[in-house]
Amino acid sequence: MDLKELLGKKGESRCLVQEENTAERFASGTVPVFGTPALVGLMEQAALNVVSSHIPDGQTTVGTGIELKHLAPTPIGMTVRAVATLVEVDGRRLLFRVEAFDECEKVGEAVHERYIVDLERFLKKASSKVRSEQTRCSGAR
């Protein structure tokens, strides 16, 4: 399938705000509200839900960037819903606009980029970083 046929398609993801996904727990803040790192994950999942069933076997998508505005706090006990829309397909590059809402208001908006990759090649590259303690990654300082 040509993924351009999916332009405008939406995907959703939901999350109940609990202690384990608060800013306090992620150490990204000091308040017991839905943490920005959790919001990023929820938005990525919504984007993945748009395309995951259309990606050929042996391939997957990986998140490569997100520009996010966390607009309002959501307390423990509320549900946050992220809705992603596929807005651009450029070869292996996929671009999504994502909005998130709690039970009262819009709490976040983002532009999220993902790339289609060959799963085996990607995992091989990642596992090549596992080395003995004496070996250092090239380019790392």
pTM flag (> 0.75)? yes
Label residue 137 by pLDDT band (50, 70, 90). Answer: low
Which domains can be identified in the chain, with CATH numbers?
3-127 (3.10.129.10)
Provide the strand spans (E) within the chain. 10-16, 59-70, 79-90, 93-101, 106-118
Total number of residues shown for the chain:
141
DSSP assigned state of 6: G
Q: Which amino acid, 1?
A: M
pLDDT for 130? 84
Dump pLDDT digits (tens) for 117-129.
Answer: 999 999 999 998 8
Residue 132 predicted with pLDDT over 90? no
The percentage of residues in the chain with a pLDDT greater than 70, rounded to a whole number, is 92
Question: Bridge-partner residues for 93, per DSSP?
Answer: 90, 115
pLDDT for 87? 99
Distance (Å, whole) CA 109 – CA 84: 10
Dump pLDDT digits (tens) for 71-98.
Answer: 999 999 999 999 999 999 999 999 999 9
